[in-house]
Each structure stands twice: as C-alpha cells, then as structure tokens.
Amino acid sequence: MTEPRVPRRRRFVVCEPRHFAVQYAINPWMSTDRPVDVIRALDQWQALVDTYRAHGHTVDTVAPVPGLPDMVFAANCAVVVGGRVLGSLFHAPERRPESVPFEAWFKTEGFEVHHPESVCEGEGDLVPAGRWILAGTGFRTTPEAHREAQEFFGVPVISLTLVDPYFYHLDTALFVLDDGDGDGDGNIAYYPGAFSPGSREVLERLYPDAVVATRADAMAFGLNSVSDGRHVFIAPEARELADRLAGLGYVPVPVDLSEFHKAGGGIKCCTQEIREIRS
C-alpha cells in the first residue's frame, strides 16, 4: 500500500569543491594519508547540482575560498528557517573562517543573520523538521546553541545526544523524509545506534513510523540524504534503505559522492537549504 508522494521545490545553496582536500583530521573518516581526487570530486559534485536542477530545485552557489578545504560542506555553515539565518561557530579552529563568506553571502541576499555565541555547526546538527527542529549534540554543536536556536527561531528545539564518533553530526544519522508541510509531524529515517538510549526513546515517541536504517546503510552515508518529499537523493551504496524507501512510495535518486566520504561528508553535507516563510 503506497501513498502518492508530492515533491516540494527547494532552494539550495552549495559551494564548489575547487579547494577540497583532507588536510587535517577532525572526524574518524578523515586521514591525511588518503588523498582526495579533486577532479573526481568536482565531477561528482557537479552531478549532484545537475540532478537537483533536473528535479526542479533552485541551486545557488557561494564562491569557494582557497585554504578552506571543507567549505564544500555548505550545510554546516548555517541553518535557515522562515527566512532567518543562524550562522555557525565551528568546533574546529580550521573551519571557523568558513562562516565569514557564508554569512556575507546571506547578508548580500537580504537575509537577517545571527552569529551564534556557542559552538553551532548549522544544518549538520540543527535539522528543521516542520513544527520543530531536531538538534544533535555530543561531538560538535553544544546544548547552549540548541537553546540559542530556539530563542532565535521561536521554534521548539529537540535536543538529541549522539554517541558514536562516526556519526558526529546529526545529519549523518538522520534525515527528514517529509516535514509534514506545516500540518502534521512528517517522517524521518535514522540509525538508532548513533543515539543515546534516552534520545532513541524521544525519536520513537515523535516518529512511531520512522524508517529505521541499519548500521551498514548509515556507514554508506545513506542517512546523509536529501528528500524533497518524493525524491530522495541518496548514496548508491545504501541499497537496503533505498529499497525500503521505494517500498514506501519514495523515489530514490542515487548520487555518488564517494570522494567526499573521505572527509566524512555526503549529499546532505554539501547541501544547505533556504527555508523561506511559507504561506
């Protein structure tokens, strides 16, 4: 029994991986002994952008800055809800300068930007999910930043504790399949092993019908996916998860970003979403 799934057009912001590299190791996926192939990375990234556009989504770009090799992970640089932009204060000193060009870009586009006072890594850990924002802590974003986000957006923020260093950002362990379109709770997919016992209970309570993924699908970056409510842009190696989603009426669209896995990132990490005020 499958329901028809209706996509909603999105506005995304991305950053070309012209200066992408693994020059430091700030998560267990990164090793400076494993070089990245920049040409391959550029091709994979371009394919992601082309795929979004082919599905009717708008994609804007922020110019990459030399010396900031993780800038391609645009999702970490802000979170935008109702047209308000909460910038980022990175945990790693190497990434802190990234927030400058991103916040400048948002200001040029006419957005109000608030720079956080505590460590806060944008949509990496703050995942807007319709009526509330799901928020990760444990490795990067702090509980103080969760409170700051709630105060800034005026939207309930639900704190979840991450416990597995491979899933150091919430968006590596969970993604929103459908945000309820302002009416209803929507649904998510997640990997329970990434969360503390109490946080797992919170997710079970909020999302009794969630799609629960395996560790293998999570390690394949299957939960670092982007859904428009119908199409799910997903890592091709996350086969079991893609099959389950197809069985629920979603349309998995495989996009290979394997070169970026070497830095601990995938599809969602490369994709910042601008959520304007919806009527």
Q: 244 or 262, CB closer to ligand ARG?
A: 262
Query: Can you tell me which of 169, 244, 261, 262 binds ligand ARG, judged by CB under 6 A?
Result: 169
SS3 content of the chain, % helix, strand, coil (to 5): 35, 25, 45
Return the closest-CA partner of residue 264 out of 194, 182, 186, 172. Answer: 172
Neighbours of 56 (CB within 10 A): 12
Residue with the closest Cβ to ligand ARG?
A: 269
Q: How far is the CB of 168 from ligand ARG (least distance, A)?
A: 7
Window contacting ligand ARG (CB under 6 A); options: 13-21, 80-88, 149-157, 259-267? 259-267
Distance CA 63, CA 216 (A): 34
Query: Can you tell me which of 75, 77, 211, 267 binds ligand ARG, judged by CB under 6 A?
Result: 75
- State the burial class of residue 180 (Cβ atoms within 10 Å of its Cβ: 0-12, 13-18, 19+): middle
Q: How far is the CB of 26 from ligand ARG (least distance, A)?
A: 5
Q: 5 or 145, CB closer to ligand ARG?
A: 145
- Interaction of residue 264 with ligand ARG, rule CB under 6 A: yes
Query: Can you tell me which of 127, 162, 269, 274 binds ligand ARG, judged by CB under 6 A?
Result: 269
Catalytic residue selected from 15, 77, 120, 269 = 269
The 79-118 site mask, x for binding ligand ARG (CB under 6 A), equals: ----------------x-----------------------
- Interaction of residue 124 with ligand ARG, rule CB under 6 A: yes
Q: How far is the CB of 94 from ligand ARG (least distance, A)?
A: 9
Contacts of 108 (CB under 8 A, 6+ apart): none
CA–CA distance from 186 to each of 75, 128, 130, 209, 271 (Å)? 21, 11, 7, 10, 20
Question: Is residue 55 annotated as a catalytic residue, yes or no?
Answer: no
Per this entry, what is the length of the chain? 279
Beta carbons of 85 and 111 less than 8 angstroms apart: yes
Distance CA 98, CA 101 (A): 6
Contacts of 117 (CB under 8 A, 6+ apart): 89, 144, 148
Return the closest-CA partner of residue 263 out of 134, 43, 95, 138. Answer: 95
- Interaction of residue 137 with ligand ARG, rule CB under 6 A: no
Question: Is residue 169 annotated as a catalytic residue, yes or no?
Answer: yes
**8-27 binders of ligand ARG (CB under 6 A):** 26-27
Q: How far is the CB of 6 from ligand ARG (least distance, A)?
A: 26
The count of C-alpha atoms lying within 13 angstroms of the C-alpha of 82, restricted to the half-sphere facing its C-beta, is: 12
**Total residues binding ligand ARG (CB under 6 A):** 16
Catalytic residue list: 169, 269
Residues near ligand ARG, by CB under 6 A: 26-27, 30, 70, 73, 75-76, 95, 124, 169, 171-172, 263-265, 269
